């Protein structure tokens, strides 16, 4: 609620500043209606950009993983098409509850896939006998423990900071 009030005050300040510009714009002959539309659009853009992400993902890997990864590589890993890292060690994929909000946000923001699309890919692999689905963990604490203790493991955190013993990686 405090956050909304802060942004609301900022928005009022921005609108007041644009009100001063309105006088200038009227003096050079730009239509008032067009200017109001511009103000509304700019205010909405400012509010959208200033809103912090509630779900900031931290992509974590075991300390044995040394490579940087791209979004395509991450997608390849989570769709189980890549099963080894560049150094030859096996990839072990960990996920949070597939029905949970954290997993949904991770899929949409990091993989650009809907959770049901990812689940279908895993189901095809499992039922055809050509692969396996990721390991599901119950909590972020368990995710940290498993990634820390499994060479070549990858997972993600939503609500927690990255602790010692696992490595945070960013996409490039």
CATH number of domain containing 102: 3.40.190.10
Q: Specify whether 65 is located in the same domain as 93.
A: yes
Burial 63-89 (b: 16+ CB within 10 A, else e): eebeeebeeebbbebbbbebeebeeee
Same domain membership, residue 161 and residue 120: yes
What is the pTM assigned to this prediction? 0.66
Backbone φ/ψ region at 129: left (φ over 0), alpha (ψ -120 to 50), beta = left
Strands 92-95 and 153-157: parallel
* Domain assignment of residue 141, given as a range: 58-169
* Total domains, the chain: 2
Looking at the structure, tell me whether residues 37 and 116 fall in a common domain. no
Judgement on whether residues 67 and 101 belong to the same structural domain of the protein? yes
The verdict on 73 and 44 lying in the same domain is: no
* 40 and 107 share one domain: no
**DSSP reduced 3-state for 143:** helix
- Greater confidence (110 vs 40) lies with 110
State pLDDT tens for residues 143-166. 999 999 999 999 999 877 888 889
- Tens digits of residue pLDDT in 68-81: 889 999 999 999 99
| Residue 35: band (very low, low, confident or very high) from pLDDT cuts 50, 70, 90 | low
Distances (CA, A) of 118 to 24, 87, 111, 154, 168: 54, 26, 9, 16, 23
Residues 80 and 62 in one domain: yes
63 with 33, same domain?
Answer: no
pLDDT at position 162 is 83
In this structure, the answer to whether residues 102 and 164 fall within a common structural domain is yes
Categorize the per-residue pLDDT at 53 as very low, low, confident or very high, splitting at 50, 70 and 90: very low
Q: DSSP alpha helices (H): ranges in 51-151? A: 71-78, 101-106, 115-128, 140-149
Identify whether residues 94 and 78 lie together within a single domain.
yes
Banded pLDDT at 120 (limits 50, 70, 90): very high
Whether residue 129 has pLDDT greater than 80? yes
- Judge if 24 and 102 occupy the same domain: no
Give yes or no: residues 87 and 144 share one domain. yes
């Amino acid at each position: 609620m405090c956050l909304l009030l802060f942004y609301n005050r900022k928005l009022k300040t921005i609108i007041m500043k644009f009100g001063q510009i309105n006088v200038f714009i009227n003096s050079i002959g730009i239509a008032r209606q067009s200017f109001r539309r511009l103000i509304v659009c700019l205010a909405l853009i400012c509010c959208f950009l200033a809103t912090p992400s509630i779900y900031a993902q931290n992509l974590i890997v075991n300390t044995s993983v040394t490579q940087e990864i791209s979004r395509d590589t991450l997608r390849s890993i989570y769709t189980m098409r890549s099963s080894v890292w560049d150094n030859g060690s096996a990839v072990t994929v960990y996920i949070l509850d597939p029905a949970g909000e954290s997993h949904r946000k991770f899929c949409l923001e990091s993989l650009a896939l809907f959770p049901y699309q990812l689940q279908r890919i895993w189901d095809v692999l499992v039922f055809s006998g050509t692969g396996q689905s990721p390991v599901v963990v119950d909590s972020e604490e368990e995710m940290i423990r498993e990634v820390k203790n499994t060479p070549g493991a990858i997972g993600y955190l939503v609500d927690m900071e990255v602790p010692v013993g696992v490595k945070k990686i960013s996409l490039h």
